[in-house]
Amino acid sequence: MSTQHEAGRVTTHRVLILGAGYAGVSAAIQLAARVKRREGVQVTLVNAQERFTERLRLHMTATGQQLAELSIPELLEDTGAQFVRGWVTAVDVDAKTVRIDDDRVLRYDTLVYGLGGVTDTAAVPGVEDHAYNLNSVQDAEVLADRLARLGSGLVVVGGSGLTGIEAAAEIAERYPELNVLLLGRQEPGAAMNVKAKAYLQGALERLGVAVRSGVEVVKVLSDSVELAGGEGVAADVVLWTSGTRVSPMAAAAGLTVDERGRIVTDATLRSVSHPEVYAVGDAAAIRQDYGVMHGTCQSGMPTGVHVAVSIVRELKGRRPKPFRFGYYHTPVSLGRHDAVVQFTRPDDSPRSIHLTGRTAARYKETVTASPWPTYGRMKKMPSSGAFWPRGGRFTKVRGTQ
């Protein structure tokens, strides 16, 4: 993939990055920093909106809390990377083109696919019509408006995973006059150690969040949810946080995908069917020794950094190295002043070490806030080495040199 010279002129190698989530922005900033002084490389980041979505804070937006508006174009200033605003409507891997919603066609030599996942609102009947979700800032703001006008009543949160837990806790703390019910197949904190799980469940109880585990919502109606077995639960508001899905665009383009539509990658994060395409974040099915990674900010940012380094290696005529990643922690906020942080082994299984209370809340806030200043630091990173934030500090990414 080395830059080619024709008639004494350098031909431009076009790198197109789709999606400005945590992984896509990491790839754009790191790559731009590494090729800034290199002639003949163009880096373009495509995203549907200019505002960066802090997915780690959407439960705060959903309860009416005002967050800073983080501008992607401003972040890219002085990096040499270009920003294109537009919805991606089609990818043609044979022609190496991407079409966006204003009918512009963007060409690439290397594609970084980072169109990540959203809450699956199609799997359960009625969710798309009657439930709120946290798929975007706009979705969270719509829920915030509804909660602010509700006054009293029952809010049902469907899904007892981390998003559901954080949202239920935030709503209960922000609106103590509302009743909050958390429904899910598993008990909250099921993947944590015994003490961390007990603390989390106790915190939900202190906030007044009612929990029902071992249940499955099979239908959402305008004023209730229906459980497997026929039981109905009245609800004034339903927030859906269960399950994720990715865009069908990768499959439609002819890229090899897994059963969930994620691009199957080799050890270096290249598509197994189209090596000029890299996949990052939760758009990718990335296999490690412990299994296929699940998408989080914690794992997404390192994939973006690794791809940036790999592209530079290929531009120099060198082979990219395998990606290696181990999980470190699971931080869960329980309102603004409480949290639990479960430290994990690399395979994401729980260790005995955990934090709780205000100490954990400060830790969680540091982790939540860290991506944006990290991007600023990435702009100034030296060309040797790749780094990503871990627990508020920088740790070298293995296998990127």
Two structure tokens written together for 221: 């109606």
**Chain segment 329-353, per-residue pLDDT in tens:** 999 999 999 999 999 999 999 999 9
Measured CA to CA, the distance from residue 322 to residue 267 in angstroms comes to 5
Two structure tokens written together for 243: 């399950």
- Give alpha helix (H) positions in 93-159: 127-130, 137-150
Mean pLDDT, the chain, whole residue set: 92
> What are the residue boundaries of the structural domains of the chain, listed by start?
5-117+246-325+370-396, 121-242+327-368
8 Å CB contact between 364 and 345: no
The b-or-e profile of 202-234 (16+ CB within 10 A means b, else e) is ebbeebebebeeebebeebbeebbbbeeeeebe
Measured CA to CA, the distance from residue 49 to residue 135 in angstroms comes to 14
Measured CA to CA, the distance from residue 1 to residue 378 in angstroms comes to 24
Please check the confidence at residue 392 and state whether its pLDDT lies above 50: no
Two structure tokens written together for 50: 């200019």
- Percent of the chain exceeding pLDDT 90 equals 86
Q: Return the CATH architecture of domain 5-117+246-325+370-396.
A: 3-Layer(bba) Sandwich (3.50)
pLDDT at site 394 = 35
CATH match for 121-242+327-368 among 3.40.50.300, 3.50.50.100, 3.40.50.880, 3.40.50.970: 3.50.50.100
pLDDT at site 372 = 85
Measured CA to CA, the distance from residue 302 to residue 319 in angstroms comes to 19
8 Å CB contact between 98 and 105: yes
- Percent of the chain exceeding pLDDT 70 equals 92
pLDDT at site 39 = 84
pLDDT at site 183 = 98
Two structure tokens written together for 182: 């958390």
Q: In terms of pLDDT, which residue wins out, 383 or 45?
A: 45
Stretch 226-235: mean pLDDT: 97
Two structure tokens written together for 382: 């030296």
pLDDT at site 273 = 98
3-state percent breakdown (helix, strand, coil) of the chain, nearest 5: 30, 30, 40
Stretch 169-188: mean pLDDT: 98
- Give alpha helix (H) positions in 267-356: 297-315
Please check the confidence at residue 35 and state whether its pLDDT lies above 60: yes
- Domain 121-242+327-368 in the same topology as domain 5-117+246-325+370-396: yes
Q: In terms of pLDDT, which residue wins out, 98 or 3?
A: 98
